Amino acid sequence: MKKIVMIVVLVLMSQMFISCSKVPAGHVGIKVFLLGGSKGVDSQELGVGRYYIGLNEELYLFPTYQQNYVWTRDTREGSPNDESFTFQTREGMEIGADFGISYHIDPKKVNLIFEKYRKGIEEITDIYLRNNVRDALNSAASVRKVIDVYGSGKTKLIKEVEDLVRKEVEPIGIRVDKIYLIGSFRLPQTVINALNSKIEATQMAQQRVNEIETEKAEALKKEAKAKGEANAILKVAQAQAKANLILAKSITKELVEYKRVEKWNGVLPQVSGGSTPFVNLGK
């Protein structure tokens, strides 16, 4: 009898040990009841520590640190399946792309997240977050031309997708840090060549416009310099004319005579003939 009791105790203890689960640091646990009237409905949030999980209970772990996941067609990344996205532009052009997401969970809203999805973090990422990104891509790309998606508008498209997903999941406690494009968009090569040619032509036209604007600016600069120099010459000429006018008005016969006397050294001209001195001695 004692042996039977010991065996039962050991079995119970081993069951308790096996059923003890741990919520590690950086995680929040959700204990879910699997049987009875509260099956899959009632849940209990658990902090870091060890907990007994009964036969009719299941523990879900939700990491609260930043998560990073990629959806690509490359079997070496993310899932062994093709998880890449396909969406269409306004013209109906089909584009393929690989995307990644960085996000973290608000530890205060883990219960709310589980109540909405009834799944663990892996399923939420693989299914629901991916669906959110796909829907946002289709919404943002459907109003854009392919050249806007492929060219300079690529950044705006990705930013809009990020904002749409963030608006959808942030209220329930999933904080999207970043959604990013991996590599380039995938289009038929003929379309890529045509788009590159169009972009190059647009860039060359813009470059020519810039050159013309530069030439206009240089011409205006030279014109302003010429006007400045002409104005300077005109001002000098006007000043000289004014000085000459003042000088002309100031010259009189008496002043001329005075200047002659002032310059005369008192010696009469030593020439013969009937010439008269250039100074009027009588005056």
Q: Is residue 172 part of a domain?
A: yes
Please give the residue range of the domain that contains residue 27: 16-62
Q: What is the pLDDT of residue 226?
A: 82
The amino acid that residue 271 corresponds to is V
Task: State how beta strands 85-88 and 27-33 pair.
Answer: unpaired
Same domain, 73 and 179: yes
Q: Quote the tokens at residue 40.
A: 């899959």
Same domain, 71 and 40: no
Same domain, 181 and 124: yes
Q: How far is CA 78 from CA 67, 123, 178, 222, in A?
A: 13, 13, 17, 63
- CATH code at 119? 3.30.479.30
Q: Is residue 242 part of a domain?
A: no
Q: Quote the tokens at residue 202.
A: 């647009």
Same domain, 97 and 40: no
Same domain, 182 and 121: yes
Q: Which of 126, 156, 187 is the last residue of a domain?
A: 187
Q: What is the pLDDT of residue 17?
A: 47
Centroid of chain to Cα 278: 93
Q: What is the pLDDT of residue 241?
A: 80
Same domain, 80 and 150: yes
Same domain, 99 and 39: no
Count CA atoms closer than 13 A to 143's CA, side-chain side: 7
Q: Is residue 244 part of a domain?
A: no
Q: What is the pLDDT of residue 65?
A: 93
Q: What is the pLDDT of residue 175?
A: 96
pLDDT one-digit tens code per residue, 61-119: 999 999 999 999 988 887 788 899 999 999 888 899 999 999 999 999 998 898 888 88
Same domain, 73 and 50: no
Task: Measure the N-to-C terminal CA separation of the chain; round to a whole number of Å.
Answer: 169
Q: What distance in Å separates the CA atoms of residue 62 and residue 84, rounded to the nearest whole number? A: 25
Same domain, 99 and 151: yes
Q: Is residue 162 part of a domain?
A: yes
Q: Of 21, 44, 49, which is closest to residue 32 (Cα–Cα)?
A: 44
Q: Is residue 254 part of a domain?
A: no
pLDDT under 50: residue ranges of the chain:
17
Q: Is residue 103 part of a domain?
A: yes
Same domain, 134 and 181: yes
Our count of domains for the chain comes to: 2
Q: What distance in Å separates the CA atoms of residue 213 and residue 217, rounded to the nearest whole number? A: 6
Q: What is the pLDDT of residue 135?
A: 96
Q: Of 141, 135, 124, 144, which is closest to residue 167 (Cα–Cα)?
A: 135
Angle made by CA atoms 245, 246, 247, in degrees to the nearest 5: 90
